[in-house]
């Protein structure tokens, strides 16, 4: 499967023309991972966006990084999302150039990722403003959907925890 075919499947490239997708494809590289491999760690710098071409990625957070309470055992990373072909991740660091908000861990053998470097993508967006507008609009919509999903998870957790404390 070609890079452009994979990009066509990704929501963040919705309404981009074939020519625009080929421009994005020209700046991409591919990486292959096996089950258990870590793509990146939480709280590390990041400057790449990833599209899953094949396989599965778990997005994980480590509760211990928030702060450890007395008599609390070390926490394991918790999976907050599982992403599959056509889905993207790494966009938060792409947008704000901050630290990664979670860890990305491969959960399937033979996972193939399309990697898009931030600096080259921003140059394309500056050079082709219409493409840049569409991409940023789609990226904002994707992030909004992920925030809403996380909000629902937090609400469920708080409701469940509150009920169990009564």
| pLDDT computed for residue 157 by the predictor | 77
pLDDT at 166 over 70: no
Give the tens place of pLDDT for each residue, 51-64: 999 999 999 998 87
| pLDDT computed for residue 136 by the predictor | 93
| pLDDT computed for residue 156 by the predictor | 83
Q: Which CATH architecture has domain 3-165?
A: Sandwich (2.60)
Chain center to CA of 72: 30
| pLDDT computed for residue 77 by the predictor | 85
| pLDDT computed for residue 93 by the predictor | 77
Q: What is the mean pLDDT of residues 111-132?
A: 96
Rounded to whole angstroms, how far apart are CA atoms 150 and 153? 5
Give the tens place of pLDDT for each residue, 26-41: 999 999 999 999 999 9
**Nearest CA-CA partner of 29 in 48, 8, 5:** 48
Biggest alpha carbon–alpha carbon distance for the chain: 59
Percent of the chain at pLDDT exceeding 70: 90
Q: Which residues are paired to 106 by β-bridges?
A: 57
In the chain, where are the structural domains located?
3-165
Q: Helix, strand, or coil here: 109? A: coil
| Average pLDDT of the chain to the nearest whole number | 89
**Do the strands 111-117 and 29-33 form a parallel or antiparallel pair, or are they unpaired?**
antiparallel
């Amino acid at each position: 499967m070609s890079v452009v075919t994979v990009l066509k499947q990704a929501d963040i490239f919705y309404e981009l023309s074939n020519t625009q997708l080929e421009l994005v494809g020209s700046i991409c590289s591919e990486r292959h991972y096996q089950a258990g491999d870590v793509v990146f760690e939480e709280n590390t710098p990041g400057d790449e966006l990833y599209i899953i071409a094949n396989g599965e990625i778990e997005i994980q957070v480590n509760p211990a990084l928030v702060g450890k309470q007395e008599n609390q055992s070390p926490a394991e990373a918790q999976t907050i999302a599982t992403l599959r072909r056509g889905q993207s991740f790494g966009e938060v660091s792409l947008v704000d150039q901050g630290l990664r908000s979670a860890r990305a861990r491969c959960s399937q053998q033979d996972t193939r990722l399309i990697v898009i470097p931030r600096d080259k993508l921003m140059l394309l967006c500056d050079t082709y403003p219409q493409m840049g507008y569409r991409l940023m609009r789609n990226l904002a919509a994707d992030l909004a959907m992920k925030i809403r999903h996380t909000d629902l998870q937090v609400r469920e957790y708080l409701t469940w925890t509150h009920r169990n404390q009564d």
